[in-house]
């Protein structure tokens, strides 16, 4: 519906020609070229005034008025033998146009000064943590946690962001592998209510002191989940987890227990493993955004 917000969507396209004449001719038919590159109808692209300072050698800005992906803005420009296109779809429109220009400026900087891509440039695992709609402070283990005390190192494998609790889930290692660790971020108050509520008592968990000065945290050990579990037994805990409370956010930790491969040792699925993860938690500062185009 017009005026309704929708999820942001960005596309980036670049074509390299033998010389500058190719992009110059292509930009002359900019609406048709952009429509074909972005798989939309040409009628959905309406020219609007371009910025006073062009991006590259010549710039064309189009308003995207419809289509299955929503509305937004498209920036097409030429720079030497390169024709580039950036499309940003979101709401509100003014912010979307500025985002498209900012992204185009960033892409033009790479076109003007080509640099080899490093492995980190192709790793977008942490990108959801920069979502401006995320209202929680991010506490994590970094993109990598070095191996220590006989435990393997951990690498951030993926991030899921949700409007529901938990609002952030971070997977370190392949989920289900015995070496993996999962972190979840939630609002503190609902989690505290759950920890003191009747449903929590049904989980048959034993509490262990985290023994980390200055950190409000607890470690829990319990039996493997079972559908026929009706009462708490006396067997040693098989599954360990932990909870830590910070200002404005609660962190839940899963020790990566792997039920199909229980014969393999899960290095973090123990009180000592949970303490190692708790000690490694740290705050993540938001990445600075690129300077807006003028």
Tokens of 81: 């033998």
Q: Identify the bridge partners of residue 46 per DSSP, sorted by sequence position.
A: 63
pLDDT over 90 percentage in the chain: 56
Per the CB < 8 A criterion, the answer to whether 168 and 129 are in contact is yes
CA atoms within 13 A on the CB side of 243: 18
pLDDT at 260: 47
- Strand spans (E) along the chain: 9-16, 45-48, 58-64, 72-79, 82-89, 139-140, 144-145, 154-161, 168-172, 181-186, 206-209, 216-222, 239-246, 249-254, 282-283
Q: What is the rounded distance in angstroms from the CA atom of residue 294 to the CA atom of residue 53?
A: 7
CA neighbor of 86 nearest in space, from 105, 100, 71: 100
Q: What is the rounded distance in angstroms from the CA atom of residue 203 to the CA atom of residue 230?
A: 10
pLDDT mean for each 10 residues of the chain (294 residues): 58 95 96 94 93 92 85 95 94 82 93 81 80 88 92 91 90 81 94 90 88 94 66 80 96 72 70 95 78 44
Tens of pLDDT, residue by residue over 56-91, are 999 999 999 987 777 899 999 999 999 999 999 987
pLDDT at 256: 61
Per the CB < 8 A criterion, the answer to whether 90 and 9 are in contact is yes
pLDDT at 2: 40
Domain ranges of the chain: 9-115, 127-283
Per the CB < 8 A criterion, the answer to whether 23 and 82 are in contact is yes
Tens of pLDDT, residue by residue over 196-235, are 998 888 888 899 999 999 999 999 998 876 644 556 777 8
Handedness of CA 261, 265, 269, 271 (dihedral sign): positive
Tokens of 6: 């929708």
pLDDT at 289: 56
């Amino acid at each position: 519906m017009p005026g309704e917000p929708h999820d942001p969507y960005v596309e980036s396209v670049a074509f390299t020609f033998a010389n500058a004449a190719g992009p110059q001719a292509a930009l002359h038919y900019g609406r048709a070229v952009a429509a074909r590159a972005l798989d939309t109808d040409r009628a959905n692209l309406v020219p609007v005034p371009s910025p006073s300072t062009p991006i590259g050698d010549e710039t064309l800005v189009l308003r995207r008025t419809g289509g299955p992906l929503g509305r937004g803005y498209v920036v097409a420009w030429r720079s030497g033998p390169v024709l580039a296109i950036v499309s940003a779809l979101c709401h509100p429109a003014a912010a979307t146009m500025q985002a498209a220009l900012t992204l185009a400026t960033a892409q033009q900087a790479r076109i003007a000064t080509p640099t080899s891509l490093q492995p980190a440039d192709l790793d977008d695992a942490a990108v959801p943590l920069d979502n401006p709609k995320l209202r929680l402070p991010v506490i994590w283990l970094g993109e990598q946690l070095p191996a220590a005390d006989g435990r393997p190192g951990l690498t951030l494998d993926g991030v899921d962001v949700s409007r529901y609790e938990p609002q952030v889930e971070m997977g370190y290692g392949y989920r289900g592998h015995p070496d993996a660790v999962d972190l979840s971020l939630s609002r503190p108050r609902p989690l505290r209510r759950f920890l003191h509520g009747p449903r929590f008592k049904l989980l048959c968990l034993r509490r262990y002191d985290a023994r980390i000065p200055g950190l409000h945290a607890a470690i829990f050990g319990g039996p493997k989940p079972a559908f026929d579990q009706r009462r708490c037994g006396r067997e040693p805990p098989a599954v360990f987890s932990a909870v830590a409370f910070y200002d404005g956010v609660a962190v839940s930790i899963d020790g990566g227990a792997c039920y199909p491969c229980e014969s393999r040792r899960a290095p973090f699925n123990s009180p000592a493993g949970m303490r190692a993860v708790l000690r490694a938690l740290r705050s993540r500062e938001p990445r600075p955004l690129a300077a807006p185009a003028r």
